[in-house]
Amino acid sequence: MDVATVVGLLCGFGLIGTAIFLGGSPESFLNPPSVLIVIGGTFAVTTACFSLGEMGRTVRVIGKTLFHTPRDPSQVLQIAELARKRGVLALQNLLGSVQNEPFLHKGLQMVVDGTPGEEVESIMRRDLQATIQRHSKSTSVLRKMGEFSPAMGLIGTLIGLVQMLGNLDDPTTIGPSMAVALLTTFYGAVMANMFFLPLASKLERNSQEEALINNLYVMGAASIGNRENPRRLEMLLNSILPPANRVQYFD
Amino acid sequence: MDVATVVGLLCGFGLIGTAIFLGGSPESFLNPPSVLIVIGGTFAVTTACFSLGEMGRTVRVIGKTLFHTPRDPSQVLQIAELARKRGVLALQNLLGSVQNEPFLHKGLQMVVDGTPGEEVESIMRRDLQATIQRHSKSTSVLRKMGEFSPAMGLIGTLIGLVQMLGNLDDPTTIGPSMAVALLTTFYGAVMANMFFLPLASKLERNSQEEALINNLYVMGAASIGNRENPRRLEMLLNSILPPANRVQYFD
Amino acid sequence: MDVATVVGLLCGFGLIGTAIFLGGSPESFLNPPSVLIVIGGTFAVTTACFSLGEMGRTVRVIGKTLFHTPRDPSQVLQIAELARKRGVLALQNLLGSVQNEPFLHKGLQMVVDGTPGEEVESIMRRDLQATIQRHSKSTSVLRKMGEFSPAMGLIGTLIGLVQMLGNLDDPTTIGPSMAVALLTTFYGAVMANMFFLPLASKLERNSQEEALINNLYVMGAASIGNRENPRRLEMLLNSILPPANRVQYFD
Amino acid sequence: MDVATVVGLLCGFGLIGTAIFLGGSPESFLNPPSVLIVIGGTFAVTTACFSLGEMGRTVRVIGKTLFHTPRDPSQVLQIAELARKRGVLALQNLLGSVQNEPFLHKGLQMVVDGTPGEEVESIMRRDLQATIQRHSKSTSVLRKMGEFSPAMGLIGTLIGLVQMLGNLDDPTTIGPSMAVALLTTFYGAVMANMFFLPLASKLERNSQEEALINNLYVMGAASIGNRENPRRLEMLLNSILPPANRVQYFD
Amino acid sequence: MDVATVVGLLCGFGLIGTAIFLGGSPESFLNPPSVLIVIGGTFAVTTACFSLGEMGRTVRVIGKTLFHTPRDPSQVLQIAELARKRGVLALQNLLGSVQNEPFLHKGLQMVVDGTPGEEVESIMRRDLQATIQRHSKSTSVLRKMGEFSPAMGLIGTLIGLVQMLGNLDDPTTIGPSMAVALLTTFYGAVMANMFFLPLASKLERNSQEEALINNLYVMGAASIGNRENPRRLEMLLNSILPPANRVQYFD
């Protein structure tokens, strides 16, 4: 689970929730029609900008972002060392232990099945490209939602204000009506700044990190498939990894 | 029909409409002069930025966007296979079945008429360029409308406020006057965020998709005109299509 | 006259004017000091960003934009055909008929005077560059005005509010004072969105179109001066013109 | 003196001042604490973004911008002609007459002192680079001030509003307190839009113009130092000057 | 200590503080729940955009920015001269005097230890890259905080307004409730404009300056390690330093 994102968002919502409860009458912050206008409206308008398939993929990608854990690419070196010592077929027993890395697992499976190194690399690289494109589309969907949700909040508030101003006969209802009108602006600001925009930023950051690591797996699987010396692979990986994350498996 | 766009926009307007009806007195949301200022003003000012021809084309392009259906480019492979087996003249009978793809139809017609492959490709490519340019101009028109409609809404509200403040003699009229003044801001926000901007985004997205598919048709028609092997065409198409949409007609 | 721009702007102002008149007491929308702050202030501050010469040129360029008519570059082919048939000197009689195209007129005059083709081309191209630069500077001036006029409107409103709030003794004057204060915001929004920004967009669009057509005239005059075959000129022109506007003078 | 900038800014402030005086009680627009928050705060925060040296240089550069006069680079041709006719040493008597052009003066002094042309060019060009960098840093300082001054105005207004709302006991003081609170927003808008941003735009424009002319002086001094024909220098200058400003010293 | 930043920020906060104290009842500006919503919420949401490690590094980098002192790179020339005169081993005694420059110290230590010049350069350059990347990530964190803190301020104000409007029974509490509601907007504006954004600008500026000087140290240590003539090093340094900061150690 991505601690920073899950705890960060929970803390944010916790602070807002505490402020609402401390002020008394938290029920005045829940107005189903307002929720419908802001969240429903944002989804409807954003869907109109994209296709149904792109919207569905975004929901799945958000789920994967929340349960994202930073990955340690150094195991690919252990696997390469093992493959050199005991032969490629010995990897068969290892496949179970890398099932938490489906991309690496798929690559090693192809190597064990005897697919030549170049073909493993080309198939994995094509797959990697598709993932990057899919994530970038999902980032666009989240950014658009972050743009539209304050706009829907404003529209909801304007509806509330026009309705309130239309019948000012009873001044005692002005306050509560105005409070309800402001709720949509509140929902819009919360959705954009505490959900859509942070998730879009995180998605972009993770996508870069994931592309880097999957790129290492591509190089690793191709290197194993080509029966290259694992020391050459270590040099190759370190030329791509940022200094802080360099691996040093062989002294 | 483009389900995502049509249903998305209808849902958005439905939500707004429901909120208005639930609040009672929906007639207070209809103010013909306000509609005229925002919609008329936005059209007038945007027309001043472009030419009459560009405005007319944009309306037609919006119509085509709403009735856009995702297209399956794989039929071009079936046609190429048929042309290889029974000769180019056999395509004559097929022309009726591709009338829903006028760009492909036009290309195949030229092939059947005996136009050489290179000339078919050059004429179709020129046509494709013109379409891309026309759509990009229409996207600009919609974006400008999305910029000008909130501005016209603000101008209308300022007119209403100045008129209301000018005669505050009767305080009971303040509320309704203010409500009418806010209506233009409401119209402007709705037009921009629930019509012009989503359509501009969608237009841009469809234009990219359409350019990709028409590009495939150009390659297909040219390949048929040149009597090339359809397997070579399949390879060519797959080098351009995104991985998820790759076609596999020949095993 | 550029129908889209002139009619567009007139319609926009007409709609605003109608809304003001329908509301009664249109005189409350005219406040000379407010006009002075917004229009005078915008001019003053924008002048400070540029030089007096650049401001003057912008006014002249606006005039030319409003009376801009789309031009048909195909006449240059007729002239080239005539020059080939009856000799360059025969163009002398034609010069009067192209006086509405001063750039082409100037080029043909040089050709008739016996200036060699290369020199005609180099002089005309230098002139064309100067025009493009002049228009781009004028677009910048209009964009800056579109930025500064809402700011001056805000400043005027703040002055009005501070004055009003300073003496709230007589509550009956609050409304009218507030109305006057809002007028500068109104003027600023109108000037920016219904004059400066649309004109800047139009200027940019026309400048591109004009550069294209004047570029054709440069090529035409040079071709005539060099006594080339007009068919070669037609091919040259069509390689530059967008597909929709291609000319076809020779079958 | 730069007429456009000085007169432009004076006119702008004159219009604002007139509006304030016509409204009566101009003293209500002067509130020393508000001035301190906006102007002092903007300087403090902008200084935190840069270094003390960069702030000092910006003040000096503003002074030079206000007293900037457009320069005529054609005198460098007269000097080159003189140098060719009477020898480089004759320039000694001319040095006094170009003291208003310190950059040219410094270059000619080096030529008279016998410094070789290439070295004159390299030293002057290094000096020119330093000037361009210094001005670009000053433009950044002014732009940041234009961003921070409305922000400081908002902060000041919020302080005033919180103080006013905290003790609403005496309703007669609401108006004046509110007026004082709005003053910081007013100061911030005036400083940004009528001082910092126009000066930043002007600085950028003048820096481009100055770089062009100083570049001509570099070429002129180097050409004189190398004893080249002044006609070659004229050709060189005209290849760089915009068409409208081309010099024609030799027929 | 970085005088401009520390004094600039202190002056800014001093001015705000003075304005608050002069207005009386400064305690009304301290509202712990509001502080929690704005500062806590900003940290929580920004953390969700990055990782815990990136947040921690940013705090450390801010500390280093506040205590940053401009550095004089000319000492590297003295050290190079000494190394040429008395041999590289004599640098051992100097290492204590450059402990305030850990990057240079690390480089010289490697030279004294006999590491070849090329390897010293490659290790130092890799380290320099890591520092630049770390600072750029921290600048992004500060910019995001500068974006989110006004948003959290708005959200806090909306919570306060909804709570206040919900129970308008007692009009005497409207003022103080409204004041408390505005406090979060005030905190958000102060945090963004007087802390996060200036620090982000400063960090970016210092990072460029530091990269320049550390680049000089890389060149210096490599030059000493290679036993090159220090005059060559001076030339090398001056080709990189901006004109104003050029060093002149030899004649």
pLDDT in tens, D18-35: 989 888 788 889 988 899
Residue C185: the pLDDT is: 96
Out of A182, A198, A243, the one facing E49 most closely (by C-beta) is A198
Q: List b or e across B169-183, with b for residues whose CB sees 16 or more CB atoms inside 10 angstroms.
A: eeeeeebbbbbbbbb
Distance CA B132, CA B121 (A): 16
Out of A50, A133, A158, the one facing B205 most closely (by C-beta) is A50
Q: Which residues contact A179 (CB under 8 A, 6 or more apart)?
A: A28, E161, E162, E165, E166
- pLDDT category of residue E37 using cuts at 50, 70 and 90: very high
Distance CA E78, CA E90 (A): 13
A28 pLDDT higher than 60: yes
SS3 state at E50: coil
Residue B239: the pLDDT is: 66
ipTM for the whole complex: 0.81
Subunits adjacent to chain A (3 or more Cβ pairs under 8 Å): B, E
Interface residues of chain A, partner chain B, Cβ below 8 Å: 33, 36-37, 40-41, 44-52, 55, 126-127, 129-130, 133, 144, 148, 151-152, 154-156, 158-163, 165-168
Q: Do chains C and E touch (3 or more CB pairs under 8 A)?
A: no
Query: Which amino acid, D63?
Result: G
Q: What is the pLDDT of residues B132-141, one digit of tens each?
A: 877 888 899 9
Mean pLDDT of A56-78: 81
Alpha helix ranges (H) inside D87-229: 102-112, 117-166, 174-191, 197-225
Q: Which of D3, D5, D16 to mutate to test the interface with C (most CBs of C within 10 A)?
A: D16
Nearest chain C residue to D188 by CA distance is C155
CA E167 to chain centre: 46
> Cβ contacts (< 8 Å) between D161 and chain E: which residues?
179, 182
Q: Which of C34, C35, C38, C45 to mutate to test the interface with D (most CBs of D within 10 A)?
A: C45
Both tokens assigned to C50? 């540029």
Residue E250: the pLDDT is: 67
Nearest chain E residue to D153 by CA distance is E189
Mean pLDDT of B161-165: 88
Find where tokens 């965020």 sit.
B193
Query: Using the beta-carbon criterion (under 8 Å), do E8 and D45 form an inter-chain contact?
Result: yes
- pLDDT category of residue C150 using cuts at 50, 70 and 90: very high
For chain B, give the DSSP string: --HHHHHHHHHHHHHHHHHHHHTS-GGGG--HHHHIIIIIHHHHHHHHHS-HHHHHHHHHHHHHHHT-----TTHHHHHHHHHHHH-GGGGGGTGGGGTT-HHHHHHHHHHHTT--HHHHHHHHHHHHHHHHHHHHHHHHHHHHHHHHHHHHHHHHHHHHHHHHHHT-S-GGGHHHHHHHHHHHHHHHHHHIIIIIHHHHHHHHHHHHHHHHHHHHHHHHHHHHHTT--HHHHHHHHHHHS-GGG------
Both tokens assigned to B35? 């509609």
Distance CA E214, CA E220 (A): 10
- Do the beta carbons of residue E180 and residue E160 sit within 8 Å? yes
Q: Do chains B and C touch (3 or more CB pairs under 8 A)?
A: yes
- pLDDT category of residue E168 using cuts at 50, 70 and 90: confident
Out of A45, A48, A161, the one facing B182 most closely (by C-beta) is A161
> Cβ contacts (< 8 Å) between A9 and chain E: which residues?
44-45, 48
> Cβ contacts (< 8 Å) between E189 and chain D: which residues?
151, 154-155, 158
Most distant CA atoms of chain B, gap in Å: 88
D2 pLDDT higher than 60: yes
> Cβ contacts (< 8 Å) between B127 and chain C: which residues?
243
Nearest chain A residue to E140 by CA distance is A201
Query: Using the beta-carbon criterion (under 8 Å), do B182 and A160 form an inter-chain contact?
Result: no
Q: List b or e across C55-81, with b for residues whose CB sees 16 or more CB atoms inside 10 angstroms.
A: bebbeebbeebeebeebebbbbbebbb
Query: Using the beta-carbon criterion (under 8 Å), do D45 and E193 form an inter-chain contact?
Result: yes
Distance CA A179, CA A233 (A): 63
Q: Which residues contact C243 (CB under 8 A, 6 or more apart)?
A: B126, B127, B129, B130
Interface residues of chain B, partner chain A, Cβ below 8 Å: 3-5, 7-9, 11-12, 15-16, 18-20, 22-25, 28-29, 70, 172, 174-176, 178-179, 182-183, 185-186, 189-190, 192-194, 198-199, 201-202, 205, 242-244
- pLDDT category of residue A72 using cuts at 50, 70 and 90: confident
> Cβ contacts (< 8 Å) between B172 and chain A: which residues?
168
Both tokens assigned to E71? 């550095």
B240 pLDDT higher than 70: no
Distance CA E130, CA E109 (A): 20
Distance CA A157, CA A178 (A): 9
Distance CA D149, CA D45 (A): 9
E11 pLDDT higher than 60: yes
CA B108 to chain centre: 26
Residue E150: the pLDDT is: 96
Mean pLDDT of A190-197: 96
Torsion, Cα of B226, B227, B232, B237 (10° steps): 60
